[in-house]
Chains A and B, each alone.
Chain A
Amino acid sequence: MDFSSLDVLDEFFGTGGDSNPFMMLIWFLPVILFVFYGQRIQLIITSRDIKKDMAKLEQFRNDSRNELIDYVKQKLSPNGDPTQKLDRFFDYFTIMPVDIDPNGIIPKIHHLVRSRDDTTRKQVKSMFSEINTLEITKVQNLLEIVATLQLLHKVVRHLFLTAKKQNNYPLILPLQMLLPFIMEQAEALKDAIPAFKKGQPIGDGIGPLVVGGMMLDTKKQNAEFETVYSESEFDGRKLILLKAEGPYATVGRPGEATESIVEKLKPDVIIMIDAALKLEGEDSGSVAQGFGAAIGGIGTDRFKIEAIATKYDIPIFAIVVRQSVKEAITLMTKEISDQAENVKSQVYEMITDNSNPNQTVLVIGVGNTLGVAQ
């Protein structure tokens, strides 16, 4: 036989232009496949990535849990084995108040958060026959870290398994979009553990660091639970300096402390110094000035400060030091700590620009004061 004239390509793929049923099948099969099974294929591909992150989250949760248990067992000599009790703490949940009628919700949230804090502190205390305040606050913060990592892992797992169970690709899309942000937060939490164990200042402590420096050589008085204030003078103005009590791992109670100080000492101006989350592209440690109550958290402290300032018509000024989520909760970086002097000079400038001699200025250093005394 003579095969010299046989064109293999033309025979099987119809390159000659004639219609070829085999070629049609090759082109139509993927189209049919993607029309009916496209979402399932995407679900399989996305699932693989999510599973990897979920495994990481589980690892973070397990590592942080083990680190906390080891820390409590080895450094703090608890009464008996604390593992079971700590495991119960990690699963603690908070049911937020009904918000269908939001009127009066702030005092309810405030009450809930305080009750939770007080109960956790009591429970931590009860695990030891002898423990100092610094260690209690450190364990409380570490508990929060592990509980948050556990919650993140559970929520991600729930969303993922629900989408898989329903074979529902659109259901997995929000998770796929949110996961990088969740992982960023989880990595930050995991990296925060060493600083909390060693009692080192974290990025969020820049406000207490500035005000703590201004409080040196003044008489410290108790303003509220784990919150101190002192009086000082600058350029003919009376300064009231307020911060959480360091070097404990606490943010204190700035809301209640401001309320009582304003009622008692009637300041003319309030200046708040805090760490703020930087936007992508902004430099870490950059300092910015503005107006309003610079304080994070669930919102109850900010509400109290805004309410009391409004009641007495006191202007609130803010100075913030910008940083990332990770920088805010891990060991303070050199870039951020180097800004302390700059912020202090900006505070003094703000005082002279916005108050007159013989007036009173309340300066609040907001943030976790771990590793920063006064």
Chain B
Amino acid sequence: MSNKNEIITAYTLQQCNSCKEQSKQKFSDGDYVFKEISKCSSCDGQVMITKIFGESLTQ
């Protein structure tokens, strides 16, 4: 058990299935892995959430 104050922020990693361009964004309600988000802005491929994970910041 740690006495440090740990803040965990959830992120989603989105990736285009065509050009494989990735972007990392903060998690928003309704997100889940393999959810199709939108069309890719650069190649018109399908952007999908490939990961959701937490990163911690220790104060």
Q: Which residues of A come within 8 Å of B, CB atoms?
A: 183-184, 187, 198-201, 209, 212-213, 216, 246-247, 330-334, 336-338, 340, 371-374
Contact = CB atoms under 8 A, between A and B. Distances in A.
Nearest to B13: A337
Closest 8 interchain pairs by CB? A247-B32, A331-B54, A337-B53, A373-B34, A372-B33, A334-B53, A371-B32, A337-B51
Given A331-B10, A332-B52, A198 B32 contact: no
A337 B32 contact: no
Contacts of A372: 32-34
Contact of B32 (A183, A199, A338, A340): A199
A212 B34 CA distance: 8
Given A201-B32, A333-B54, A373-B32, 4 more contacts: A187-B1, A200-B52, A246-B34, A331-B10
13 contacts: A198-B10, A200-B54, A201-B32, A212-B34, A246-B32, A247-B35, A331-B52, A333-B53, A333-B56, A337-B51, A372-B32, A372-B34, A373-B35
Contacts, number: 64
Given A183-B1, A331-B10, A201 B52 contact: yes
Contacts of B53: 201, 331-334, 336-338
Nearest to A331: B54
Contacts of B33: 201, 209, 212, 246-247, 371-373
A337 B34 CA distance: 13
A368 to B, nearest CB: 13
Nearest to B9: A331
A168 B16 CA distance: 65
A198 B27 CA distance: 9
Contact of B52 (A183, A330, A337): A337
Nearest to A373: B34
Contacts of B56: 333
Contacts of A209: 33
Interface in B15-59: 27, 29-35, 50-56
Contact of A374 (B34, B51, B52): B34
B54 A213 contact: no
A247 B56 CA distance: 24
Contact of A200 (B1, B27, B35): B27
A201 B32 CA distance: 8
B32 A331 contact: no
Most interface-central of A200, A216, A374 (chain B CB within 10 A): A200
Contacts of A371: 31-33, 52
Nearest to B8: A331
Nearest to A374: B34
Contacts of B35: 247, 373
Contacts of A340: 51
Most interface-central of A183, A199, A340, A374 (chain B CB within 10 A): A199
A201 B10 CA distance: 10
Nearest to A335: B53
Nearest to B52: A201
A374 B36 CA distance: 11
A371 B29 CA distance: 11
A332 B1 CA distance: 19
Nearest to A213: B34
A374 B31 CA distance: 14
Contacts of B8: 330-331
A334 B50 CA distance: 12
A183 B56 CA distance: 21
A330 B54 CA distance: 9
A200 B34 contact: no
Nearest to A246: B32
B54 A332 contact: yes
